[in-house]
Structure 1
Amino acid sequence: MRTKELTTVTMTTIAETAQAPVARHGRWEADARTRAARLENLLGDPYDPANPHGLHALFTADDRRTPPAETEALLAATGLGAEFVPAEHGGLLTRADLLARALRPVFRRDVALGFGHGITSLFATGAVWAAGSPAQRHDLARLLLGGGRATILHHELAHANAILRDEFTALPEPRRGGYRLDGRKDVIINASRADAQVVYARTDTARGPHSHSVFLLDPAEAQPGTMRHLPRVETTGMRGVLFSGLEFAGRPVPGDALVGRTGDGVPLALRTFQVNRSVICGVVIAAADTVLRSAVRAATTGRSGPVARRWHKALTGVFADLLACDSMATVALRALSLLPDRAHVFAAAVKYVVPDLLRENLDELATVLGGRGYQHGSPEYGSLDKLVRDLPVAGLGHAGTASCQAVIVPQLRTLAEHAWFAEEEPPPELFREGAELPPLDYSVLGIAGGGDFMAASLVGSAARLASARGVGGQIAALAELAEAFVVELRALRETCRRLPPSAASASASPAVCVLSDRYSLIVSAAAVLGIWEGQDGTDPFLADPGWAVLALSRIGERLGIPVPDLPDGCTRHVLDELIRRYRAGLSFDLDATVLAQ
């Protein structure tokens, strides 16, 4: 496999991370914060028209349908590829939640940039970190640390992550040894410029869970006539990303290119997808943050007095939703380290809920922005127009929802019969900022069974809040909401217990798929309650129940359960914090980080 020359940045990274991860364990979170702040400052003020990495330059590149070359060069120089390499192999990847934090400065500016220069390499390499040979891991780590890219070949945009489609075959070659790779795929990110290809291909003509295998290939080693680059495909969203196709025609694949064992393709995909889903949700929040910021700008610019009352509900509601989405994503990402054998269903639930909430949020913010939200290319207001186009292409549309249903639906009856109201709560470190967690280990991620720690957390939160019901104020409203979600969980349990065995198939009826919607919203509420309970008082706003009351009320309304009236002052309290953060240049997520301006 080709390797890139290691830059000074990445050589330093290797030296710093060569020591045992345990020695760095207490510093992981601080290091991630420092890297995120450094990258935020290097990217500079996004609203400065003269900034080569600002929104004006990024929107211009999007109009040209070209990658923003200068910003990609900056990201390469800073060693962004090290974020996708586990620390044990010389990189900076320790925990998934810290990875998302480190990547948010990029996604805050441009989802397409985040995919085109970065996160796609993470999606591709997960299978290698999970099951690759020492040589494969070493070569891939060196490639990414040197600024190289990896791409993944398995899913079409038309059917999202449906890896069981016959797009590639790699049938054994008994005489020569190894495999013969054939097939075509028209839409691949960075197909024309990737230095490594991770290919999911059918290796068994029989249908079943072990029909596919994974191969790590070097495109430079393809023999003439066995690999053909197909024309670029232009997309409605993420227009600066280079999508194109590849066609293999009898390409010889050596046996040592196999990742793991023959037939491991589907299990490896299921194991790594939970990381991918959770990280996507954790970073795309930053893009929605930028749109909310433009809406606050529209509502406050030219006004000497308070924000007009007609915008209060939309602005505070979206702010509460972003905090809720961050709560869900943060818990899912931490669970990958703390509860790796049990995180897969909750990861799918988060990926199910967060895109829907963000799409609804964009609709609400459009009412505040009006025509300005579609001022194409405007740094101040054009982020709405771009994100509306980018989200579906980023896998945050209907097809992605269907893939999450395929994970959740088969588990519902088992969870109802054996897990809900029957298991212990997860460790409090799952919700506590600054808690030390184990490193992310792809090889121990589970893909079936494991109970439901989030349902248990919901029941525990409601029990602790029960004494506050009826006392009035925001804490009483929070207690009432917690109990309402528990009641809904009980009702869902009774429904799911009556599901026929056939409902476990991914092609279950729409009526059964609706149950996954109910379930996902319930455990999302559990994440909000858990994050609120995990506060230590360092952030007075997050320690106050007001934001959680508003967030849970909106989740409850989506679920169709009775919700109490918002207590007096709840909306005003959330609005005041939103305006304070806007004026102070702080992010609208749980971290409230300082932004470049």
Structure 2
Amino acid sequence: MTITAEIIHPPGTPFGRTEADGLARAARLEALLGDPYDPTNPHGLRALFAADERAEPPAATEALLAEAGLGAEFVPAAHGGQLTRADLLARALRPVFRRDVALGFGYGITSLFAVGAVWTSGDARQRQEVADLLLSGGRATILHHELAHANAILRHEFSARDAEDGYRLDGRKDVIINAARADLQVVYARTDAARGPRSHSVFLLDPAQAGTGHVRHLPRVSLPGMRGALFSGLEFTGCPLPAEALVGAEGDGVGVALRVFQVNRSVICGVVTAAVGTVLHSAVRAATDGRTGPVAKRWHKPLAGVFADLLACDAMATVVLRALSLLPAQAHLFAAAVKYVVPDLLREDLEELATVLGARGYDHADPAYGALDKLVRDLPVAGLGHAGSASCQAVLVPQLRGLAERSWFAQEEPPPELFRSGSELPDLDYRLLGIAGGGDFMAAALVGSAARLAPARGNRGTLGALAGLAEAFVTELRALRERCRRLPEAGTGLSDPAVIVLSDRYAGVVGASAVLGVWESQDGTDPFLTDPAWAVLALSRLAGRFGVPVPGLTDGVQEQVLDELVRRYQEGRSCDLDAVTYAP
């Protein structure tokens, strides 16, 4: 069985750097995984639900992904892998995540989270050795912080003290994905007792060389979700680390983490929408199965609304993933804002879809409907591998005053390639990612979109409605500017509810900017995305969540979006901006 040649380019073959390449890789993976609704498919939803019930990894599907060379997706093209741009990576991974979030983490994306430190600061030897490991089917995991600490990388779980031949590692963490089966452990450990940005360093640890008596494997931990993933703990006591295990320089750990988290946050937002799309398809099936007429009126709002939300989430994720390549020094702010908004929208969407699916959403025996229950349990646990809301707020809040004083309504718009599908972009380079400053290109894009739509304000129809919504979000940005200018210069903490509200509202403005930018960039190829209706519904819902006052929906908008959703369901197409055809 020669699957590997289908997925990984042979040595010397040019690597694709366009949306078409990412979609082609996704299509090949879709075909390999097969029809998720076929009850006899060993990689279908019924088999994945059964593995979850047994709290076991889906062994057959993990073996298929290994044979398919999925690890190449996490290795830069310069080292023989497939990784060129983060937006293409997200597209390629969606077939896995639309079936099972736990599978996507347990066999796959956790390795990217871990080895991002090597792509950021590793030397040539470390980069090639890690590339070889992943390309040969190996896995990596990350050891940095306890769950209760959100992403407080400065907390003291692991420490590495100087030794004659390198370092000695001590510390314990109880919940680590793939702790017992990873071939490489990337450890963020304290190397300086003093608090501060230079207190931590990053080390590579080969579990096979850790030494007897220095590592204790702790029992497996059962969690409410992602039950098919393997979580357990590790305790180190004087574990030897050679000097060459250090990644970058001593004290680089915090800066490395802040760069890596940008990619992690953004990629997660780019793939979990596919999982919610599976539940949305189930809800459409529930609302249409056995009916010959139109969808019942009571289901119009939840179905069309969730579809519009998924398009908005995809717009936010896609734009920030492109920004990591196009505007790497400035993307950190937007990465935090998108990670702040998208998970909350998706959780609310699942609650809406539960009203449509009812008890069927919890029927694991029926692959056509049972994805709701599993995803409701999996999504909170999926926060184990990346930044949580508190850490995103920690990025946003300290910058609000500076943005209000120097950036909003003053900065130039970003390049149009940021929003335009098919644009050629530079490869992702972790080393170029900034961690502070750089202004706010998304606020500038919002102001620009509203200005171009201004002539349509007051007109009847969806274009006039969209122009009004754009101006409403610009008015919100003006109000935020006035309030954020009054924030204290220092000491603004996350414990102040008023400040948290400001970060909430700012994240909503950023989301609106992405939706408007993606809508403006349409070239007419897709009539549905070119029409303003989906953007009007998406922005109306976003405005309602963040308290931005807007008029009621234009007549026919909800029905127009619902008609597209039903068409995609009938044709077996995805609920994102790409509208790709799924496996039969």
- The aligned counterpart of 1:100 is 90
- The aligned counterpart of 2:151 is 161
**Distance of 1:237 and 1:134 partners within structure 2:** 38
**Unmatched tracts of structure 1, length 5 or more:** 1-6
CA deviation profile, 1:535-555 (whole Å, cap 9, x unmatched): 001100000000000000001
- The aligned counterpart of 1:479 is 467
**Distance of 1:443 and 1:583 partners within structure 2:** 44
CA deviation profile, 1:431-482 (whole Å, cap 9, x unmatched): 0001000000000000000000000000000000000011210000000000
- Check 1:326–1:277 CA distance in 2 against 1; reply closer, same or farther (3 A cut): same
CA deviation profile, 1:478-524 (whole Å, cap 9, x unmatched): 0000000000000000000000123444x441221111100000010
Residue 66 of structure 2 aligns with an amino acid whose one-letter code is A
- The aligned counterpart of 1:124 is 114
- The aligned counterpart of 2:53 is 63
**Distance of 1:535 and 1:387 partners within structure 2:** 32
How far the C-alpha of 1:155 sits from its partner, in A, is: 2.4
**Matched residue count:** 584
- The aligned counterpart of 2:80 is 90
- The aligned counterpart of 1:4 is none
- The aligned counterpart of 1:254 is 242
Whether the aligned pair in 2 keeps the contact of 1:26 and 1:436 (CA below 8 Å) is no
Match of 1:134 among 116, 120, 124: 124
- Residue 316 in structure 1 maps to residue 304 in structure 2: yes
Whether the aligned pair in 2 keeps the contact of 1:25 and 1:436 (CA below 8 Å) is no
Match of 1:457 among 409, 425, 445: 445
**Distance of 2:516 and 2:34 partners within structure 1:** 35
Whether the aligned pair in 2 keeps the contact of 1:96 and 1:279 (CA below 8 Å) is yes
Residue 78 of structure 1 aligns with an amino acid whose one-letter code is A
CA deviation profile, 1:27-46 (whole Å, cap 9, x unmatched): 54322211100100111111
- The aligned counterpart of 2:187 is 199
Whether the aligned pair in 2 keeps the contact of 1:230 and 1:247 (CA below 8 Å) is yes
- Residue 74 in structure 1 maps to residue 71 in structure 2: no
How far the C-alpha of 1:82 sits from its partner, in A, is: 0.1
Q: Match of 2:468, SS?
A: helix
Residue 496 of structure 2 aligns with an amino acid whose one-letter code is S
- Check 1:272–1:436 CA distance in 2 against 1; reply closer, same or farther (3 A cut): same
- The aligned counterpart of 1:551 is 538
Match of 1:574 among 558, 561, 579: 561
Whether the aligned pair in 1 keeps the contact of 2:459 and 2:465 (CA below 8 Å) is no
TM-score, L = length of structure 2: 0.98
Whether the aligned pair in 2 keeps the contact of 1:157 and 1:393 (CA below 8 Å) is no
- Residue 370 in structure 1 maps to residue 358 in structure 2: yes
**Distance of 1:244 and 1:364 partners within structure 2:** 34
Percent identity between matched residues is 74
**Distance of 2:360 and 2:9 partners within structure 1:** 49
**Distance of 2:461 and 2:23 partners within structure 1:** 35
How far the C-alpha of 1:563 sits from its partner, in A, is: 1.2
Whether the aligned pair in 2 keeps the contact of 1:179 and 1:253 (CA below 8 Å) is yes
Whether the aligned pair in 2 keeps the contact of 1:90 and 1:141 (CA below 8 Å) is yes
- Residue 593 in structure 1 maps to residue 580 in structure 2: yes
**Distance of 1:169 and 1:156 partners within structure 2:** 14
CA deviation profile, 1:277-326 (whole Å, cap 9, x unmatched): 00000000000000101100000001010000000000000000000000
- Residue 189 in structure 1 maps to residue 169 in structure 2: no
**Distance of 1:27 and 1:533 partners within structure 2:** 23
Indicate the larger mover: 530-539 or 398-407: 398-407
- The aligned counterpart of 1:3 is none
Q: Match of 2:388, SS?
A: helix
Q: How does 1:331-370 map to 2 (within 5 A)?
A: 331-370=319-358
- The aligned counterpart of 1:227 is 215
Whether the aligned pair in 2 keeps the contact of 1:355 and 1:396 (CA below 8 Å) is no
- Residue 238 in structure 1 maps to residue 238 in structure 2: no
Q: Match of 1:171, SS?
A: strand
CA RMSD in angstroms comes to 1.6
**Distance of 1:73 and 1:407 partners within structure 2:** 39
- Check 1:476–1:396 CA distance in 2 against 1; reply closer, same or farther (3 A cut): farther
Q: Match of 1:216, SS?
A: strand
How far the C-alpha of 1:26 sits from its partner, in A, is: 6.2
- Check 1:27–1:185 CA distance in 2 against 1; reply closer, same or farther (3 A cut): closer
- The aligned counterpart of 1:111 is 101
Match of 1:537 among 504, 509, 524: 524
- The aligned counterpart of 1:172 is 162
CA deviation profile, 1:371-427 (whole Å, cap 9, x unmatched): 111224431111110011001100189981111101110110110010000010000
- The aligned counterpart of 1:41 is 31
Residue 530 of structure 1 aligns with an amino acid whose one-letter code is G
**Unmatched tracts of structure 2, length 5 or more:** none
Residue 416 of structure 2 aligns with an amino acid whose one-letter code is P
TM-score, L = length of structure 1: 0.96
Residue 111 of structure 1 aligns with an amino acid whose one-letter code is V
